Amino acid sequence: MLLCSSGLFAQNPTATGTINATLIHKNGIALVFDTDPAGVTLGASGTSAATMDFGSIAAFGPLAPGVTRLSATATDFTVRTVFDVQVIQGGLTSTSYTLRANLASALPTGFSFKVDGVTLVNGPSNIQTNGAYNANVPHNLDLTVLTAAPGAGGPAVGTPLTTVINFQASAN
């Protein structure tokens, strides 16, 4: 029995096999939000569903890190932060993309948002028409607040503002 066993080990058995697989190559793009070094730190940075917090804002006084005040007049004030958008593409012949943004719902009275100077509304607005793929592209988000009294066009004082801004990237 021992002689037979050692003879089997000495034969160096081998086996071969084949895996039949089909590669299905699909093209597409992905949109990712990243924290810009000059802006506020995004929640869930590096994903397609990031959040942003301006902190407490006012026409005068200190602002959160990454938030700047563009203007403060008798009628309104505007604050800004910067965020990055990266559009990643694979399997496309497209060399650029168009970025659009819109508000998911109407804003409360007295507030307005702009991305790169484009006022956001409920329908999509073009933000960028020749975006470069696979690179962080900085964009400015401005929030303007009217200083009129509530009921006269201004927002209720101390009311938190929560809104959703939808972004869409389309291959050119």
Q: What is the 3-state secondary structure (H, E, C) of 128-151?
A: EEEECCCCCEEEEEEEEEECCCEC
Q: Kindly state whether residue 20 falls inside one of the protein's structural domains.
A: no
Is position 40 within any domain? yes
Task: Tell me: pLDDT of 5 over 90.
Answer: no
Residue 13 lies in a domain: no
If you average pLDDT over residues 64-73, what whole number do you get?
Answer: 97
**Please, which pLDDT band fits residue 22 given cuts at 50, 70 and 90?**
low
| Domain of residue 153, residue span | 26-171
3-state secondary structure of 9: helix
**Would strands 97-103 and 76-90 be described as parallel, antiparallel, or unpaired?**
unpaired
Q: Provide the CATH number for the domain around residue 82.
A: 2.60.40
Question: How far does CA 61 lie from the centroid of its chain?
Answer: 29
pTM exceeding 0.85: no
Q: Look at residue 38 and tell me whether its pLDDT is greater than 90.
A: yes
